[in-house]
Amino acid sequence: MALDTETVRRIARLARIRVPEDDLAPLADELSHIMNWVEQLDAVDTSNIAALTSVADIRLPQREDKVNDGGAPEKVLANAPDRQGNFFAVPKVVE
């Protein structure tokens, strides 16, 4: 399926990746090329197949509902681009 520039603009927005206006059309061609190729799967009959949910036959393990880690704000914040006290700081979101 061919993706138009409007769709690419929408995906870029969903993915939170800034795409300059001039790049939208070439990117649409590029992504369409890949999507056209993966559409070969339409020819595969999967009418009686359940989608695979886990490749390994394992049950999700459970642990006791107990705190087993924490209390390390310096480690958690060590790579923060910006911080205030023990908080991550971001650009202002409310006026």
Partner 1 sequence: MSDLTRLTIAEARDGLAAKQFTAEELARAHIKAMEATRDLNAFVTETPEIALLRAKESDARRAKGAVASGMDGIPTAVKDLFCTEGVRTTASSHMLEDFVPTYESTVSMNLRKAGSVMLGKTNMDEFAMGSANITSYFGPVKNPWRLNDGKDRVPGGSSGGSAAAVAAHAAMCATGSDTGGSIRQPAAFCGIVGLKPTYGRCSRWGMVAFASSLDQAGPMTRSVRDAAIMMQAMVGYDPKDSTMANEPIPDFEAALKGSVKGLKVGIPAEYRIDGMTKETEASWQAGIDWLKAAGAEPVEVSLPHTKDALAAYYIVAPAEASSNLARYDGVRYGLRESADDLTDMYEKTRAAGFGREVRRRIMIGTYVLSAGYYDAYYVKAQKVRALIAHEFAEAFKRADVLLTPTTPFPAFALGEKMDDPLQMYINDVFTVPASLAGLPAMSLPAGLSADGLPLGLHLIGKPFDEETVLRAGLAIEQAADFKMLPQLLRAGS
3 state DSSP class of 40: helix
**Taking the complex as a whole, how short is the minimal distance between the CB of residue 68 and partner 1, in angstroms?**
10
3 state DSSP class of 29: helix
* Sequential DSSP letters for 72-95: -HHHHHTT-SSEETTEE--S----
**Taking the complex as a whole, how short is the minimal distance between the CB of residue 65 and partner 1, in angstroms?**
14
Which of 21, 22, 56, 66 forms a contact with partner 1 (CB under 8 A)?
Answer: 56
Which of 71, 82, 84, 86 forms a contact with partner 1 (CB under 8 A)?
Answer: 82
Helix (H) and strand (E) counts in the chain: 3, 2
The residues binding partner 1 (CB under 8 A) are 3, 7-8, 10-12, 14-19, 27, 30-31, 33-35, 37-42, 44, 46, 49-58, 60-61, 63, 72, 75-76, 78-82, 88, 90-93
